[in-house]
Structure 1
Amino acid sequence: MSGASTTCYLALNPKVKGVSGEYFVDNNVAKANRKARDAELAKKLWECGMELTKSK
């Protein structure tokens, strides 16, 4: 498949109009990796980014 296939599918296919909050792979809904759904890990990543950019 083309690298832009899923992006084009989501932009142009009326079947997915209004679909939000889903993760797609090869034009299909897929489950994100466990680490991508880890709220504590997301918080640590956010804090690290804030520290690296010296943001508050």
Structure 2
Amino acid sequence: MGGEAFKALADPTRRRILELLRCGDLTAGQLAEHFDMTKPSISHHLNALKAAGLVDA
């Protein structure tokens, strides 16, 4: 696992997103329902996970 993946996994929100995605595909809007944050914030976290190669679009 590369350094980007470890950086991405250091964030508890990103770890929770990965847990939710283990159950199946979800949109950014569906993920946002599980957090007290905006959809753009969720998209930011998803982009970090994508950049680290941990999720696919």
Which TM-score applies when normalising by structure 2? Answer: 0.30
Which TM-score applies when normalising by structure 1? Answer: 0.31
Relative contact order (alpha carbons < 8 A, sep ≥ 6): 1 or 2 greater? 2
Higher strand share: 1
The structure that has the greater radius of gyration is 1
